Amino acid sequence: MTALALARFDDEGPYLRARARLLGAERRIVGEWLPYAADSLGHGEGERGIRFGVVLTGLAGGAALLALTAWSAIVAYPFDSGGRPLWSWPAFLPAPIEFGALTAAIGGMILFFRRARLTRLHDAAFDFPEVAEASAGAFVLAVGCDAGEDANAVLSLLAETGAVHSRLVTR
């Protein structure tokens, strides 16, 4: 049977010590809820993925509209206007640039919502009162462990590092 050890900290110092000790002991941290964004915890690696996704969706959207414009001007409806070439790329650039910016913004919003897990209607973590306290200034840490001695060891480690409140939830 698996268990979840939940601990609440009132200050950032004990929370960071507990987090470091858990990672040093190779424990699996299932969830972390903080009252503010903490870049020092290494949670910023998702930004690079979002930036890369925004650039990729913007370039793909712009290239797709440029390809559609080229296909329509050369293949689907070739129109000779005064001996000018069918593919006059400078005239076709503004629309793909604007469309690329639009697709980049939409792609960035979708990636942000997916990374922030805002696409779920309900997360089981919000059933715990400790998680609700995180928005009011508490630091909450959830550690996955096995029920029994392993869970007691995790709870004692959390108490040693300064957890104000800790409890075990079995699933």
Number of C-beta neighbours around residue 16 at 10 A? 16
Residue 121 lies in a domain: no
Whether residues 64 and 87 share a domain: the answer is yes
Phi, psi of 34 (to 5 degrees): -125, 155
- Overall number of domains in the chain: 2
**One domain for residues 21 and 58:** no
| Residue 162 burial (10 A CB sphere; 0-12, 13-18, 19+) | middle
Same-domain pairing of 141 and 86: no
**Predicted TM-score (pTM) of this structure:** 0.59
Task: Identify the CATH number of the domain in which residue 140 sits.
Answer: 3.30.70.1710
Decide if 160 is inside a domain.
yes
Residue 28 forms part of a structural domain: yes
Average pLDDT over every residue of 142-171:
84
Question: For residue 40, is it within any domain?
Answer: no
The whole-angstrom separation of Cα 23 and Cα 153 is: 14
Average the pLDDT over 46-59 and give the result: 87
Place of tokens 């060891």: 153
Tell me the pLDDT tens digit for each residue of 74-129: 999 888 878 888 888 888 999 999 999 999 999 999 998 888 777 777 777 777 88
Residues 107 and 54 in one domain: yes
> 103 and 54 in one domain?
yes
The answer to whether residue 63 is domain-embedded is yes
pLDDT of residue 40: 58
Res 35 pLDDT > 70: yes
pLDDT in tens, 149-162: 778 888 888 988 88
Is 125 inside a domain boundary? no
One domain for residues 64 and 10: no
> What residue numbers bound the domain in which 149 lies?
2-35+135-170
3-state secondary structure of 36: coil
Q: Is 112 exposed, middle or buried (0-12, 13-18, 19+ CB in 10 A)?
A: middle
